[in-house]
Amino acid sequence: MNENLNFAILVDGENAQSKKYTDILNEVGRKGSIAIKWVYADWTLPNNRGWKDILLDTGSSPKQQFHIAKDSVDHALIMDAIEIICTNDKINALCIVSSDGGFAGLAQRTREKGLHVMAVGKSDTPSHFRNACHNFVYVENLSLDDNQDEDSTVGNQSDDLENLLLRAYWQLVGDSDCVYMGDLGTKLKQLDSAFDSRNYGYRTLKKLIQNASTPLVTTSESEDRCYVSLIEEKGYIKATPRRANNYAFIIHQGHEYYFRKEDLLYNNQWEIIKEGQEVIFQRSAKCNGKSPGASNVRCI
């Protein structure tokens, strides 16, 4: 838990599921402390009665808003949020519970105000809302079992995962050729606020890297620290490069990987590269059309 984050949780009770509310509170509680728990709805409507017991059990405050105009509940939530961030200096984090893209503006303005912005919503929440947050959690991931079948998780796109991991790694890596796992997790959230290892069926980033098919491997593990580095791949040069173009392609497991002269680990090897030459390389975050990139290429 981050002791420095003090949350106000504002819930669109007509958009969120009451049965997931306890899981949502637990998720936010792992990020910081919770000072405010307000749930907005027209409580006179029969379909909102399912919230009653859960509100009492969790010590949350119901906020009544009649449907006197379109999006009345949303407007009430937004106005209270603005009042909180402008007048309550004890609150430095806001969690919006909704899948409604209309809250993107609130998230953006809150972030500009200097507060941490978290949101919880469905996996089909519009991207402009997700991207306005520091941290967006898919409600489908809450209470995920470590043994859950990966095929049933949200966002399970291996190509997207590989590209995101590579971007994060190459933005962090220094002369040591490895990255601290905690820093990698932070960078992944900066690049994609909705990144979550649970999207791919794993509770932690460490388990994701150790068990899923990714270009990363864990190294230098200890009880309190873990580092990751890029796997070295083996392939062969597709064709002798034209010297004027300064680029070539590696074939690895039937796929092409693009690299330039400056991607060689040893620049003087450029003159000896030829068709069929065996090389070792690491995957890069760049690409050339449909061909992913290679880096730290060296002849065997």
Nearest to 122 by CA among 111, 112, 103, 137: 137
250-289 as b/e, with b when 16 or more CB fall inside 10 Å? bebeeebbbbbbebbeeeeebeebeeebebbbbbbbbeee
Judge if 187 and 237 occupy the same domain: no
Q: What is the largest CA-CA distance in the chain?
A: 78
Tokens linked to 250 = 């590696």
Contacts of 102 (CB under 8 A, 6+ apart): 71, 74, 129
Judge if 137 and 158 occupy the same domain: no
Judge if 137 and 13 occupy the same domain: yes
Residue at 272 is within a domain: yes
Residue 142 · residue 27 · CB < 8 Å: yes
Nearest to 52 by CA among 95, 12, 43: 43
pLDDT of res. 158? 65
> What residues of the chain score a pLDDT lower than 50?
145-152
pLDDT of res. 160? 86
Judge if 118 and 168 occupy the same domain: no
Judge if 199 and 244 occupy the same domain: no
**CATH code for the domain in which residue 48 is found:** 3.40.50.1010
pLDDT of res. 267? 84
End residue of a domain, out of 186, 213, 228: 228
Q: Determine the Cα–Cα distance for residues 101 and 125; give it in Å rounded to an integer.
A: 7
Residue at 292 is within a domain: yes
Q: Determine the Cα–Cα distance for residues 180 and 163; give it in Å rounded to an integer.
A: 18
Total domains in the fold of the chain: 3
Residue at 193 is within a domain: yes
- Domain extent, residue 180, equals 150-228
Judge if 136 and 194 occupy the same domain: no
Residue at 239 is within a domain: yes
Q: Determine the Cα–Cα distance for residues 123 and 201; give it in Å rounded to an integer.
A: 14
Residue at 1 is within a domain: no
Residue at 35 is within a domain: yes
pLDDT of res. 144? 57
Dump pLDDT digits (tens) for 126-169: 999 999 999 999 999 997 544 444 444 555 556 789 999 999 99
Judge if 99 and 14 occupy the same domain: yes
Judge if 135 and 167 occupy the same domain: no
Judge if 202 and 267 occupy the same domain: no
End residue of a domain, out of 83, 112, 141: 141
Residue at 277 is within a domain: yes
pLDDT of res. 149? 44
pLDDT of res. 151? 45
Tokens linked to 118 = 């978290």
End residue of a domain, out of 86, 113, 141: 141
pLDDT of res. 223? 60
Residue at 46 is within a domain: yes
Judge if 256 and 238 occupy the same domain: yes
Judge if 169 and 290 occupy the same domain: no
Tokens linked to 298 = 């060296």
**CATH code for the domain in which residue 222 is found:** 3.30.420.610
Tokens linked to 142 = 């809450």
For residue 96, the tally of other CB atoms under 10 A from its CB is: 28
Look up residue 264 and give its DSSP letter.
B
Q: Determine the Cα–Cα distance for residues 178 and 190; give it in Å rounded to an integer.
A: 19
**CATH code for the domain in which residue 287 is found:** 2.40.50.140
Tokens linked to 88 = 């309550």
Judge if 181 and 293 occupy the same domain: no
At position 26, the amino acid (one-letter code) is N
Strands (E) in 42-91, as ranges, are 61-64
